[in-house]
Structure 1
């Protein structure tokens, strides 16, 4: 009996040790959880291997919400990136000069901005801020929330004399736009295929302008009912979605889906002359539903009077 009891104890300990050795760490990302073996946590990156493998992978800490270690300890990370959902969120765009900050992020495109002072008395800071704001605005319209500045040139005011003309202050930026929140392709397709849309707004930032222009649409029928339409065929290419709505005019063959919310969608067209956003509200948007309800109520009241 004693030998049997001793055997059970040994087996229990062996099983517990084996179980603890096979339990993995967990990386909690935005859209998924990975079971891994964490090897190193540095200032900017996390190095890990997959169970049963020796290849070491690296991921930016900005993409990881939490590590849950096999021993039960958890480490939570605070991302410097904020959600950028509309043109009103331009100040939230994160700007960095450190390339490791954007490792693993989805690149949206290259950007360039240049600002020159009006006179040799122009404020250097104001000119710099103007150039940077334009970069952040264009990045927002491209569906990005992070800017990596690869090159910055800044010239101060240069006062001239009777022989040499002066030069006002100038700032130029070369940058790349990134997104830490990849477009949820499945959710975007579901929304596009199962809802109708209302053309709400057009926003354009011309290449030589500092601020975007806005145009708000009022597309209604004779009864003031919002005109809703389908977005048509969805084209998926290299992880991006493109549409070609027939109900309004735009240049080019397709518009890119850059942002999808609960009840609205943002389409983009970018050329060497400008970047344009089309804001479409779904039939589930409160503004659209309230307008429809108001028209229906008006019709009902009119019928009751008759």
Structure 2
């Protein structure tokens, strides 16, 4: 018995095998997986690891991203090897056992100020800006603390760091839990948003008058010149939100206010206005 196989049949068979092999090889290609402290999982290729950062490309892309080492929990390489970088928040929090066990009496009348969020034109400002606002609020509240003890920003930030609490994962904790970790009865938290609006231009014109006299006549000729300068000032709309929580996660003060002035530092007057009206303020 004879079998005849056409050229077309053979070609279809070869194309099918090729497509299957390509698909199988793509499926089988393993990726490096970068797991961040906030739970984000990035899949692709780890290009380089430096002392402070990880250079990474997403699967199918050529652009190289730089990720801070401090934000990474671990990397699972395509080979199966796992490299750990930072302890997870839950494990780190267990190191703060003495603070977690602080009694209500030990926490009584103690106040911690969290680093404020500062969003300018839709973008989060640098951590240094939040630290500056935190310190300004500490100085302001310390002058009118009365029976309350305002914990220094550095002491607060050290405990937050040891517990693995950042702005990115803070929503994973209740304010009651954070109060116990910080060993305080009250927590001050807030956010400042600032957006560019209009520009105000200021002009100034000066005029110089030069008079020349002819020696052989009484006629006078006057000539002069003028110069103009202008300056533009950027205006901002600033809004500040401020909340105070107790160690039961209850909000005891909640205010949001738009700054009256349009300067870049207008939040300072707004901060003073809100602090003077909060229940922790003493004249």
- Please tell me the TM-score bracket, short chain as reference: 0.3 to 0.5
TM-score in terms of structure 1 length? 0.33
TM-score in terms of structure 2 length? 0.35
Indicate the structure (1 or 2) with the bigger Cα radius of gyration: 2
Structure with bigger RCO (C-alpha 8 Å, 6+ apart): 2
